[in-house]
Amino acid sequence: MSKVLKDPVHGEIELHPLCVKIVDTLEFQRLRFIKQLGCCYFVYPGAAHNRFEHCIGVCHLAGKLAQAIRDRQPDKINDRQLLCVKIAGLCHDLGHGPFSHMFEHFVNSFKGKNWKHEEASRKLVVRIYGHLKKEFKELGGLEQDDIDFIKDLIDPPEGLYQRAKDGNVEQKKDFFLYEIVSNATYGVDVDKWDYFARDSLHLGVKTSFDHDRLITSARACTDDDGVTHVAYREKVLDHVYEMFHIRYTLHRKAYQHKVNKAIELMISDAMGKANFVVGVDGYGKEITLSEAVDDLDAFRKLTDQFVLDKISEFSKEARELVDRIYKRKLYRFVGEKRIELQELNDEETVTQQEKTIQTEEQLRDELVGEKEGIKKHIKVQIAYFDYGAKDKNPVDKAYFYTKNEPDIAKHPDKVRYHPFIVVYMSKLNP
């Protein structure tokens, strides 16, 4: 049977019977104990919501957007695709570690590579399918090929658009499905819609963005290369701008808040000092916290409170750092320096990670000067404040359609977002 949940953001949410089975797995239930905003909870007491409810919200919105397109264009989405989109929304954040995005930075500082939570999400979807293969078949008619499709909906592979562009008619026709949960094309997707609404509610940040306004105009439209995209009516262009503006606002007020960044540094340092053993692999080798992403059994244990308790248990220095957080004896804010994004994008020969390291070292030198004795005590973090596309206009790559051409996907007319004057004329007599 399906299940109806009461959500503070979306009201009543009805889950498909297969989605109910997925929610009831240990892999999904773990998300109840991972804060959506990580360390922001130490700054904003209301930010106590978890990845669990966010994922259910994304499942709901993914189904709502896909169904809205299907209602207008019945030939675009079949039952199997609709269910796969819902499951992708439900499972897209399964791979988040404790304290969400902060854990990615911690792992990469040890592993020396760019690990992302989407990697673990893809693996955990396969693991859940292994548990529920019978239910996937009986409740949804889904097979292994559909699991591969769901994985790509969660994390679209690089070069997917080019393959669709050069591919067959079906690849071109179905490409818009990859823009619903995680839109790598132009960044407008239901994942953002849910966390903008949910985070704003729990943070107490006012917002005028309304995702329902976009859903009511969404269509699957074809671009000049024959590839189909999720496109919106041209008249809702301002709502898309508002979406990217609330993203900027939330980063300024919460996600990149200086106290939040200080606490992230402290917990990351504590995790590094402890780096405790989480489990043992099949060969008897111990798996540490920084290595847990490579072993799903070890990774499944990791939640916010589990890590805080364990690092305090395994290291005196780590325990002192955690105690300092509770007692509000935090790392002090030294200063800030604003850098134009273009300055970071000039050197194309180095990776973004190398650019970040170089800039952190440069900023440390500028802030501390010649005082070598205290330089080792200064840590620098770079916070990006943009509208989702670095130094570019995020709406440039979005797709819209007009009333007269409802099936043609086009980029917005640049005249619409440069400063302009409008002269209104009224006829005095009827």
* pLDDT tens-digit series, residues 101-159: 889 988 988 777 788 999 999 999 999 999 999 999 999 999 999 999 999 999 999 89
User: In a 10 Å sphere around its CB, with 0-12 CB exposed, 13-18 middle and 19+ buried, how is residue 6 labelled?
Assistant: exposed
pLDDT of residue 357: 47
Q: DSSP code of 332? A: P
Task: Give CA separation, 389 vs 181, 319, 386, 398, in Å.
Answer: 18, 39, 7, 12
Which amino acid type is present at position 415?
A: V
Return d(Cα 129, Cα 149) in angstroms, integer: 13
Helix (H, G, I), strand (E, B) or coil at 345: helix
Whether the pLDDT of residue 373 is over 70: the answer is no
Edge-to-edge order in the sheet of strand 228-233 = 219-222, 228-233, 400-401
Determine the average pLDDT of the residues in 160-166.
91
Residue 373, by phi and psi: left (phi above 0), alpha (psi -120 to 50) or beta? alpha
Helix ranges (H only) for 303-428 are 304-314, 316-326, 341-345, 352-368, 372-375
Place of tokens 């499942």: 59
Instruction: State the pairing for strand pair 400-401/228-233.
Output: parallel
pLDDT of residue 372: 57
Q: 10 Å Cβ neighbour count for 206?
A: 8
Determine the average pLDDT of the residues in 226-248.
92
CA dihedral 286, 289, 291, 294 (to 10 degrees): 100
**Range with top average pLDDT, 83-92, 151-160, 251-260:** 83-92
pLDDT of residue 350: 40
- Closest-CA residue to 86 (of 7, 150, 132, 145): 150
Place of tokens 């796969």: 84
Q: Let me know: does 58 contact 51? Beta carbons within 8 Å.
A: no
Whether the pLDDT of residue 17 is over 70: the answer is yes
Return d(Cα 391, Cα 396) in angstroms, integer: 12
Q: Is 117 a residue of the active site?
A: yes
Domain range annotation of the chain: 3-256+391-410, 260-331
336-355 tens-digit pLDDT: 766 665 554 544 434 444 44
Q: DSSP code of 377? A: T
Helix ranges (H only) for 12-168 are 17-23, 26-29, 51-72, 79-91, 101-111, 117-131, 133-140, 144-154, 160-166
- 130 or 333, which is more confident: 130
Average pLDDT, the chain: 87
In this prediction, residue 321 has a pLDDT band, given cuts at 50, 70 and 90, of very high
Determine the average pLDDT of the residues in 22-49.
95
CATH class of 3-256+391-410: mainly alpha
Q: Let me know: does 258 contact 380? Beta carbons within 8 Å.
A: no
Return d(Cα 107, Cα 95) in angstroms, integer: 13
Return d(Cα 385, Cα 341) in angstroms, integer: 9
CB-hemisphere CA count at 13 Å for 191? 22
> Catalytic one among 96, 117, 202, 257?
117
Q: Let me know: does 152 contact 215? Beta carbons within 8 Å.
A: no
- Closest-CA residue to 185 (of 148, 147, 216, 227): 227
Whether the pLDDT of residue 415 is over 50: the answer is no
pLDDT of residue 66: 97
Run of H or E including 277: strand 277-280
State the chain's maximal CA–CA distance in angstroms.
89
